[in-house]
Structure 1
Amino acid sequence: MSNFAVIFDMDGVIIDSNNAHRGAIREFLANHGLEIEEESLIRNVFGRTNADWIPFVFGRELAEEELTDYAFEKEAIFRKIFEEEEAFVEGVAEFVYHLKRNEVPIAIGTSAPMDNVAFTLQKLNLENAFDVIVDDAQITFSKPNPEVFIKCAQELGFPTEKCIIFEDSMSGIEAAKRSGAKVIGVTTTHSAYELRECDMTIEDFKDLNMTILKELF
């Protein structure tokens, strides 16, 4: 058993889904006569739960049933768009198997709903690969609050200081840093310079291995 654990965000880390989410959000908003500036999309939407960003774009509190319906609508649009793209971050499946062979406990900590997680893992044939999955329904606070990563670490049985978190969004990286974990930034959403507060940055997973991960501790 490894003396450290690994936690993955999903969107922008396992799947390069930003374009699909961007398209889905814009289509969803257009359906309701709304639009959003790119800067606000990156700052206030990416990396956050539907329960957090949907009321923000509508500019008001939403009843639970209304929020659920809106979230379902947006995610259905996303899955339809992503089905046509299937843009996975290069080397991620092989890297997950590499961690499994080396007995590293692994988790997903995501702001996405479980339907999207299941959809993604099925596409990658990784349905049974992860020891723990914490999705948006299991957390109270959205990133940059570190709750999702702290919960992953607890369920894996590791202190956050003995975890490595892969993230791509600014809110996710802030959450990961606040948790006390080591943070590897994936440059699908932001440049390496923008992610310079991370312990290291990568473009993809194809050259990553246990030797490199151990050097973080």
Structure 2
Amino acid sequence: MNTPTYKAFLFDMNGTMIDDMDFHTTAWHKVVTQKLNASLSREQVKVEMYGKNSEVLARLFGEDRFTDQEAQELSVEKEKIYQAEYISHLKLLNGLDQFLAKAKEKNIKMAIATAAIMFNIDFVVDNLDIRPYFQALVSADEVDKSKPHPETFLKAAEKLGIDPKDCLVFEDAPKGVEAAQNAQMDCMVLTTMHGKEEFSAYTNIVGYVQDYTDPELEKLFTGAEA
């Protein structure tokens, strides 16, 4: 694994910090089939489930189906369903609590850079009591273009005051890895949802791990300031 010393770690959230994607799929499927009466399978919903919530709705129902206000209301309703279902299962991926603590000890800056809305970021960081680890939080509410556009990661780097080339992104999805590559950032892939073969198109990947207990991650701290 090629692991130079990085000055900042940027984390996607869903599937990268917490293993919650099945709960998002369930929530979206409930909204789509019960609230909007669409005859779509769980799998049909799952493949469109990336980017901002408004973008998901546009892909499933067309660009002009909902007003901005309607899309916002549906988005919040979906997240309330997700949070109610997931709260009793909410936990960090194995080893991430120790990994965050070590990164903080080494003075590595950290940010969450995600397509989730701030309502969900707050839900995760406050219920898990990890807000103090992060100097920046970038949500879907703050960007014009979702991943694979690099805006989310570039905005996080800007907030941290770190050059993009000195940032390492943690991602679990191909479009997120592509966003990191478009931002000129290296990427560590969490194989929580996708296999290695799904990332073969990208040249910015420095390694693959199942979770944060992988001993290869220790190399990220080599030379980091204590």
What TM-score, normalized by structure 2, do the two folds share?
Answer: 0.87
Tell me which of 100, 108, 116 is aligned to 1:96.
Answer: 100
What CA distance in whole angstroms lies between the structure 1 residues aligned with 2:139 and 2:102? 24
Q: CA deviation at 1:3?
A: 5.4
What CA distance in whole angstroms lies between the structure 2 residues aligned with 1:124 and 1:68? 26
Partner of 1:142, secondary structure, is coil
Tell me which of 13, 17, 21 is aligned to 1:18.
Answer: 21
Structure 2 residue aligned with 1:202: 209
Structure 2 residue aligned with 1:129: 133
Structure 2 residue aligned with 1:59: 62
Summarize the Cα distance change of 1:184–1:211 in structure 2 as closer, same or farther, 3 Å threshold: same
102-111 vs 23-32, which moves further: 23-32
Say whether the 8 Å CA contact 1:95–1:208 is kept in structure 2.
no
Cα root mean square deviation, aligned: 1.9
Structure 1 residue aligned with 2:144: 140
Q: CA deviation at 1:40?
A: 6.1
Q: Does 1:120 align with 2:117?
A: no
- The AA in structure 2 aligned to 1:10 is M
Summarize the Cα distance change of 1:101–1:25 in structure 2 as closer, same or farther, 3 Å threshold: same
Summarize the Cα distance change of 1:99–1:214 in structure 2 as closer, same or farther, 3 Å threshold: closer
Moved over 4 A (4+): 208-211
* Matched residues, number: 212
165-174 vs 53-62, which moves further: 53-62
Q: CA deviation at 1:33?
A: 1.3
What CA distance in whole angstroms lies between the structure 1 residues aligned with 2:177 and 2:218? 23
Unpaired runs of 5+ residues, structure 1, are none
Calculate percent identity across the aligned residue pairs. 26
Structure 1 residue aligned with 2:181: 177
Say whether the 8 Å CA contact 1:95–1:209 is kept in structure 2.
no
What CA distance in whole angstroms lies between the structure 1 residues aligned with 2:166 and 2:221? 11
Say whether the 8 Å CA contact 1:93–1:124 is kept in structure 2.
no
- The AA in structure 2 aligned to 1:206 is T
Summarize the Cα distance change of 1:158–1:58 in structure 2 as closer, same or farther, 3 Å threshold: same
- The AA in structure 1 aligned to 2:75 is A
- The AA in structure 1 aligned to 2:145 is F
Q: CA deviation at 1:68?
A: 0.8
Q: Does 1:189 align with 2:196?
A: no
What CA distance in whole angstroms lies between the structure 2 residues aligned with 1:134 and 1:208? 29
Say whether the 8 Å CA contact 2:12–2:114 is kept in structure 1.
yes
Q: CA deviation at 1:106?
A: 0.4
27-36 vs 138-147, which moves further: 27-36
What CA distance in whole angstroms lies between the structure 2 residues aligned with 1:199 and 1:207? 14
